[in-house]
Structure 1
Amino acid sequence: MSKVKFTAGQIAKFACPADKQQVFMWDSEAPGLGLRATHGAKSYIYQGKLNNNAIRITIGDVKTWSIKDAQAEARRLQTLIDAGTDPRQAKAEKIAKAEAVKEQAKTQAIRQAVTVQKVWNAYLEHHQDYWGERHYRDHVNLSQAGGLPKKRGSGLTVPGVLFPLLQMRMIEVNADVLAEWQKSEAQTRANNARQGFEMFRAFWRWCSQHKDYASLIDAQAVENQDVRKKVPSRKAKKFDVLQRAHLKDWFEAVRGLSNPVIATYLQGLLLTGARREELAELKWSDIDFKLGAMWLKDKVDDEGRMIPLPPYLAALVAGLPRRNEWVFSSPTAADGKLAEPRIAHNRALDTAGLEHVTLHGLRRTFASLAEWVEMPVGIVAQIMGHKPNATAEKHYKTRPLELLAIWHGKYEAWILEQAGIEFAQSEQNQGLRVVK
């Protein structure tokens, strides 16, 4: 093949004839350097032999490579061949190395930039279809930023217990950070601190199994004994009650709820000592307003039990909307009845500035506060649906409703007095007043 000295003029005028797909021109200065022209494009190439096999490598477009640089590249490629190295393999290794460096830099950038909040959002999105609505909402509530006007009462919502951790980078979370976080949160909201740690531990374990996040975290941070020692223990049952001094604030917050069905339901739990499921399943057909009684399903007695419907609670129930068969109805629930009053109750507790009390804790409150009116233990047990003691409660089945109603009425009246609520049966249709 003939060779010519590459010049700018020759490069510019060299073109591929219309009757051919490509043509070549070879440089006399740099061995193996050629110019390939196709219709609409021209590029420098290198052609040589390795182990008697022809090798052709594209160097680059003439628009981006000067003649001098193309000649230098051709000489470099020739040097590799003279050393027995395949330039194509060397190029592939160079590209792979560059990609590895790029990937390492990307990983490092992620490690330095990705926040716990970002991964937490991915975690919630991944599990939303598998979790129940209540469990999902707990995660959202404990990780909220706060700072929004309260829906009930004045002031702004506070950040969730998990929020401080979510503002950190994944690589910053370690055992020391978690221990300090638990110590700080447990001082003001111990139950939330414990619940938040359990949620975060599950989240962190999920991250340790995820290909995109495992390398970003200290997986053992949530297993550290020093951290776990800082986590408050579950609240003892004896503390899961409202005290007499709490009643006024509790009633004010609960009665201030925007949903009257939930507000009445929560007051009903405290005033009757019923189990949460029993009261939620109350039907209009189970109530006799004239008799002042209601029939509850009972897990102890398959036939259920009839208990008094005290006057104040009767007035609240009578004012509820009759959407369907359920007293505590919900237009959004699949079965038409109240499904999740706990969230509203927690908000009411926050509004009142009270420690966390479960819905079952309201049942315990009934039993605890009944002693203030010296209600007989057997009557407390019969109203609450406790299994009777064979010796002390031999007359359990024979107590008439009227006798239960006397003591139940005393209890309700005393509760209203402590809550500062003025009520008389004649006022059932005139509304209720709060004593200032």
Structure 2
Amino acid sequence: MARIKLTNGRVGDFACPPDKLQAFLWDTEVWWLAVRAQPGGTKTYVFQARFNGSDVRVKIGDVRAWNLDDARAEARRMQTLIDKGIDPRDEKRERIAAAESKKADAKRLDMLVGDAWDAYIKHHERRWGERHLADHRRLSQTGGEPWKRGKRVTVQGVLYPLLQLKMREVTATALHDWQVEEVKTRANNARQGFELFRAFWRWCASRPEYADVVDLTTVENRDVRAEVPRRKTKRFDVLERAHLASWFAAVRGLSNPVIGAYLQGLLLTGCRREELAELKWSDVDFRWGSMWVKDKVEADGRKIPLTPYLRSLISALPRRNAWVFSSPTAADGRIMEPRIPHNRALAVAGLDHVTLHGLRRTFASLAEWVEMPTGVVAQIMGHKPNATAERHYINRPLELLAVWHTKYESWILEQAGIEQPGQDAGERLKVVG
């Protein structure tokens, strides 16, 4: 084992012989320090000593990065660890791990809310419905993008300002100020945005990569929640019996008959908005008076009656493509935003605001006027059955559903002052080229 007092010159001149894989030049000043040379010119300072009866060798670093005095000091430090019964290899691993942990902590502290939000969306997008996913994207959008139609541009989403913050900057004060500002111009979006953000923040708190920088109490803060507008009670998001004549007159007077038929269909079937919007001609059976609609409870969907008046509405629609409620201007070929014409119809009728989902609630509410059994209402609407008997024994045939459903439709038309259609209201499809 060659030993010599190391100098910068000797370290620089030392090289690995061509017939060896490595060579060592040991220092006489610090007994445990050596320069290791390898083929190709790589040279490193190493520490070697005995620990618990075995040789321990630890790399100190490249000679280009370490000067000789620092390498000697590091070798002495490692020997003091051995004198204390500490393996310098373990100590080095712990130092590296601590440094990596500190680096990761710093990275987490600088992490943007928007990055975590993107991960949240990616994690859930396959499980969420189309509408729910669209709400998340709409409320977090940058804004300023041109609309598909017209000269308008999209509006910045209510959540966008929060997504620009660092995770550690999301405090109760920040949420309070954000909510106060957004409520001034778009109260409903502010409420919905807070609800979506709270669910997202709770998810972050459950994830190990975010838990250390998420303060879950911020979304539960009393002062923050006090600024969130209350959701309009569902009790008022329905049409009453006295509203029917005005509502039907306004909806039937819309310039777009497809939208008019769709809105009436929501009230007459109790379907969810996307269930009816995604109805295809292949789902409608005019011969047997039925139609298949998508269902979030049953994977195969559900079959419901095609009542006489609804049959007449659908059969009068143009058959432009596969969709019953088609749109020649929409990218997907079907109606996408019937909410706006519905709001116009409500204004014409002089009625308070009712959402599209409120029309579904209206079906359940007004069905009581004809004493429709609760189980029939649930089966038509696609609700999960509640009682054990409903879940396991009762599966009503379409004919029985049609008896009650037709009775309901007939009563609705009577209240609206609309002439009852004949039972043989036929299929009158218009193919549009």
What does residue range 251-262 of structure 1 map to in structure 2 within 5 Å? 255=255, 261=258
Does the CA-based 8 Å contact 2:237-2:355 persist in structure 1?
no
CA offset at residue 319 of structure 1? 5.0
Q: Which residue of 1 aligns with 2:168?
A: 171
Q: Distance in 2 between matches of 1:36 and 1:220?
A: 56
The residue type paired with residue 85 of structure 1 is K
CA offset at residue 321 of structure 1? 1.3
CA offset at residue 124 of structure 1? 1.1
Q: Distance in 2 between matches of 1:21 and 1:237?
A: 84
1:231–1:87: structure 2 CA closer, same or farther, 3 Å change rule?
same
Q: Distance in 1 between matches of 2:95 and 2:169?
A: 30
CA offset at residue 126 of structure 1? 0.3
Q: Distance in 2 between matches of 1:160 and 1:353?
A: 26
Q: Distance in 2 between matches of 1:36 and 1:99?
A: 25
Q: Distance in 2 between matches of 1:180 and 1:24?
A: 66
Aligned length: 356
Larger radius of gyration: 1
Deviations 1:187-233 (A, max 9, x none): 54444333333222221211110111112222022223333343313
1:196–1:30: structure 2 CA closer, same or farther, 3 Å change rule?
closer
Deviations 1:106-164 (A, max 9, x none): 323422x3222221111111011111222222222232233333445553332333333
Does the CA-based 8 Å contact 2:48-2:57 persist in structure 1?
yes
Q: Secondary structure at the match of 2:308?
A: strand
Instruction: List gaps (5 residues or longer) in structure 1.
Output: 288-294, 367-380, 390-395, 411-428, 430-436
> TM-score, with normalisation over the residues of structure 1?
0.60
Q: Which residue of 2 aligns with 1:275?
A: 269
Q: Secondary structure at the match of 1:274?
A: helix
Deviations 1:289-323 (A, max 9, x none): xxxxxx788xxxx977534999xx69xx6351165
- Whether 2:83 is the aligned partner of 1:84: answer yes
Q: Distance in 2 between matches of 1:162 and 1:139?
A: 9
Say which of 315, 318, 343 aligns to 2:316: 318
1:132–1:93: structure 2 CA closer, same or farther, 3 Å change rule?
same
- Whether 2:370 is the aligned partner of 1:387: answer yes
Q: Distance in 1 between matches of 2:360 and 2:60?
A: 83
What does residue range 418-433 of structure 1 map to in structure 2 within 5 Å? none
Q: Secondary structure at the match of 2:146?
A: coil
- Whether 2:230 is the aligned partner of 1:228: answer no
Q: Which residue of 2 aligns with 1:292?
A: none
1:136–1:86: structure 2 CA closer, same or farther, 3 Å change rule?
same
Q: Which residue of 2 aligns with 1:96?
A: 94
CA offset at residue 8 of structure 1? 6.0
What does residue range 265-414 of structure 1 map to in structure 2 within 5 Å? 265-266=261-262, 268-269=264-265, 273-277=267-271, 280=276, 286=286, 305-307=307-309, 318=316, 320-321=318-319, 323=321, 327-328=324-325, 344-346=337-339, 348=341, 357-361=354-358, 386-387=369-370, 407-408=417-418
Q: Which residue of 2 aligns with 1:31?
A: 31
Q: Distance in 2 between matches of 1:170 and 1:138?
A: 22
Does the CA-based 8 Å contact 1:146-1:160 persist in structure 2?
yes
Q: Which residue of 2 aligns with 1:419?
A: none
Does the CA-based 8 Å contact 1:36-1:43 persist in structure 2?
yes
1:74–1:117: structure 2 CA closer, same or farther, 3 Å change rule?
closer
Q: Distance in 2 between matches of 1:121 and 1:102?
A: 25
Does the CA-based 8 Å contact 2:263-2:342 persist in structure 1?
no
CA offset at residue 167 of structure 1? 2.9
CA offset at residue 344 of structure 1? 0.8
Q: Secondary structure at the match of 1:234?
A: coil
Q: Distance in 1 between matches of 2:64 and 2:255?
A: 79
Identity %: 38
Q: Distance in 2 between matches of 1:167 and 1:116?
A: 6
Does the CA-based 8 Å contact 2:144-2:156 persist in structure 1?
yes
- Whether 2:122 is the aligned partner of 1:125: answer yes
Q: Distance in 2 between matches of 1:244 and 1:152?
A: 33
Q: Distance in 2 between matches of 1:138 and 1:95?
A: 47
Q: Which residue of 2 aligns with 1:149?
A: 146
> TM-score, with normalisation over the residues of structure 2?
0.60
1:186–1:93: structure 2 CA closer, same or farther, 3 Å change rule?
same
1:406–1:249: structure 2 CA closer, same or farther, 3 Å change rule?
closer
Does the CA-based 8 Å contact 2:245-2:416 persist in structure 1?
no
Q: Secondary structure at the match of 1:142?
A: helix
Q: Distance in 2 between matches of 1:357 and 1:15?
A: 85
Q: Secondary structure at the match of 2:173?
A: helix
Does the CA-based 8 Å contact 2:251-2:260 persist in structure 1?
no
Does the CA-based 8 Å contact 1:26-1:35 persist in structure 2?
yes
1:346–1:166: structure 2 CA closer, same or farther, 3 Å change rule?
farther
Q: Distance in 1 between matches of 2:416 and 2:342?
A: 30
- Whether 2:214 is the aligned partner of 1:214: answer no
The residue type paired with residue 345 of structure 1 is P
Q: Secondary structure at the match of 1:203?
A: helix
The residue type paired with residue 418 of structure 2 is H
Does the CA-based 8 Å contact 2:108-2:210 persist in structure 1?
no
